[in-house]
Amino acid sequence: MGMIDKRLAELGITLPEAAKPVANYVPWSRTGNLVFISGQGPIENGKITLQGCLGDSLSVEDGAKSARLCAINVLAQLKDACGGDLDRVRRIVKLVGFVNATPAFTDHPKVINGASDLMVEVFGDKGRHARSAVASPSLPFGISTEVEAIIEID
Amino acid sequence: MGMIDKRLAELGITLPEAAKPVANYVPWSRTGNLVFISGQGPIENGKITLQGCLGDSLSVEDGAKSARLCAINVLAQLKDACGGDLDRVRRIVKLVGFVNATPAFTDHPKVINGASDLMVEVFGDKGRHARSAVASPSLPFGISTEVEAIIEID
Amino acid sequence: MGMIDKRLAELGITLPEAAKPVANYVPWSRTGNLVFISGQGPIENGKITLQGCLGDSLSVEDGAKSARLCAINVLAQLKDACGGDLDRVRRIVKLVGFVNATPAFTDHPKVINGASDLMVEVFGDKGRHARSAVASPSLPFGISTEVEAIIEID
């Protein structure tokens, strides 16, 4: 059991099976030492959850929970990209978080902190990343957040 | 004639001239083996087509056609970045597809499949890429989709 | 004083102190020769300015001014990433500009030119970058533009 797997266990996080591609794209690609993770949604136990719009049906807390779930699915894909060994992660380089939000919403950072906090809980300083937090007027299947990532691995 | 040029001919696809920059940005940049392609729109025969909004004036099929056109323009720029030789492409690494969509729209993946499918038709397994499909409340000149790309080349 | 610092002085641009992280993300990360800059907003003298929506309360000129301020904040972070020496910049590789805009807005490129023009004023040909200009239905703290960047450095 790797160090990061132990840390995930301490945090009570069970990574799901990495979801399989549903079209002519793949959940991750690698070029050199960089892994690009496709936009992940708030999937839990194989089901979409936390659908809706920030500033309308969902609270900031719901949104942060959604972003955290996105980040857990990022880690599931990343584990697959690492051949199962998350200790190969050198650095979470970049996250982009898209928040399904109304024109009046202004708390995108608090929502995407749900993803950023998870990365640092799991990877410590290696989990600190550059980030953009923006909005989207709608997202696939009505999900409330979508998070993509770039990670440097060994 | 390269293998990819032959494949494009088989598919009946004629790449347009790579559009020239219209401002202080360029259609592509290269760093190491990575080419970054600027966001491309549905330009056909030098003209913007398929303007409008998904969930409102345009159908999902229109949207997918628009995304396919964006991808053809990505390839035109990529060919330019490869000095004319698309056989130098090692891997389509990443696409981001922005869909001009209403708050109620949920079929962003089906729209962006228009771009993803083209990449695999042209490049086979090398065309399989990481991807994010999100929405934008509006896009330049009212286009319905915009697609940007990262590609690894020799 | 470096060449780029001299150029900034000629342009009358004083870079602010690089803003400190406000959460579990960082303003920039580096992998190999690439620096990823987190999404920057129109901060001037430590204060958010030019809040609002393009196509509604703000003009295209306001938007371009906002994007230019975002780019100045990108440079402040980049300077920090370069250990203070902006002459180490080899190439501005990519910008993504998010415009807080209404569904009817179509002039996103003119807005983001505010950022693109600054890069070329400061770095000349090294400042020419790939770019995507899209919209966001809202942005953090109500800012009108957010710009993220990828830069190659020595």
Prediction ipTM score: 0.96
Any idea which residue has 């995507």 for tokens? C132
Q: What are the pLDDT digits (tens) for A58-102?
A: 999 999 999 999 999 999 999 999 999 999 999 999 999 999 999
Residues of A in contact with B103 (CB under 8 A): 53, 102, 137-138
C18: in domain: no
Q: Among A23-27, A105-109, C28-32, C47-51, which is the least confidently predicted range?
A: A23-27
Q: What is the pLDDT of residues C35-77, one digit of tens each?
A: 999 999 999 999 999 999 999 999 999 999 999 999 999 999 9
Cite the beta strand spans of chain B per DSSP E: 28-31, 34-40, 43-44, 47-48, 89-100, 130-136, 145-153
Chain C residue with Cα closest to B143 = C106
**Count of CB atoms within 10 A of residue C82's CB?**
21
In chain A, whose CA is at the least distance from the CA of C39?
A132
Neighbours of chain C (3+ CB pairs under 8 A): A, B
Q: Which residues contact B141 (CB under 8 A, 6 or more apart)?
A: B41, B48, B51, C106
Is B9 domain-assigned?
yes
**Nearby residues of B21 by Cβ (< 8 Å), 6 or more positions away:** B27, C128
With beta carbons under 8 A apart, name residues in chain A contacting C31.
33-34, 91, 93, 150, 152
Distance, C-alpha A58 to centroid of its chain: 19
Domain span holding position C109: 3-13+27-153
Neighbours of chain A (3+ CB pairs under 8 A): B, C
- Please state whether beta strands A28-31 and A34-40 pair in parallel, antiparallel, or not at all (unpaired): antiparallel
Q: Rounded to 5 degrees, what are φ and ψ at B131?
A: -155, 145
For A23, the closest of B106, B113, B135 (CB atoms) is B113
Whole-angstrom CA distances from A68 to A43, A94, B59 are 10, 15, 33
The enclosing domain of B128 has a CATH number of: 3.30.1330.40
Q: Does some domain include residue B22?
A: no
Residue A22 has pLDDT above 80, yes or no: no
> For the segment B78-133, what is each residue's pLDDT rounded down to a tens digit?
999 999 999 999 999 999 999 999 999 999 999 999 999 999 999 999 999 999 99
Q: Quick one: pLDDT at residue C1?
A: 83
What was the pLDDT predicted at C24? 87
C21 part of a folded domain:
no
The model's pTM is 0.97
pLDDT tens digit string along A103-141?
A: 999 999 999 999 999 999 999 999 999 999 999 999 999
pLDDT per residue as tens digits for the range C97-142: 999 999 999 999 999 999 999 999 999 999 999 999 999 999 999 9
Which residues in chain A have Cβ-Cβ distances shorter than 8 Å to C78?
none
Overall number of domains in chain A: 1
